[in-house]
């Protein structure tokens, strides 16, 4: 299964990891690994995430209040990561990325 990251999702991952690391040493690395584990689960089970909208799904990042928001394109056998989003902030802000995943 191919995984494609929207450029803004990469920035979100980097910014969140840096912020978390600044709060507690070593936790930025833990956060990054937790996101990678979530994405790895999507490779195996792309339809396991909760449906948010028509084709948009989300899965949680274990031990952190974040979600991986993604689109599964079955016909292309790929998962497009739209956002690494905080669970309690600005719901749906990533919706504009659907036109340019």
Q: Which residues of 63-83 are buried (b: 16+ CB within 10 A; e: fewer)?
A: ebebbbbbbbeeeeebbbbbb
Stated pTM of the model: 0.92
Ordered by where they begin, the domains of the chain are 2-88 (3.30.2310.20)
What would the pLDDT profile of 38-63 be if each residue is shown by its tens digit? Answer: 999 999 999 999 999 888 999 999 99
Query: Which residues fall within 8 angstroms of residue 46, CB to CB, at 6 or more apart?
Result: 1, 57, 70, 72, 74, 79
Report DSSP letters for 18-32, one per residue. HHHHHHSTTHHHHHH
Percent of the chain with pLDDT over 70: 98
């Amino acid at each position: 299964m191919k995984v494609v990251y929207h450029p803004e999702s990469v920035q979100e991952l980097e910014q969140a990891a840096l912020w978390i690391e600044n709060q507690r040493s070593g936790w930025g690395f833990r956060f990054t690994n937790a996101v990678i584990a979530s994405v790895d689960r999507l490779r195996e089970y792309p339809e396991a995430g909760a449906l948010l909208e028509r084709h948009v799904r989300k899965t949680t990042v274990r031990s952190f209040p974040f979600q991986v928001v993604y689109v599964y394109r079955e016909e292309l056998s790929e998962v497009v990561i739209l956002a690494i989003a905080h669970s309690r902030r600005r719901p749906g802000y990533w919706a504009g990325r659907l036109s340019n995943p």
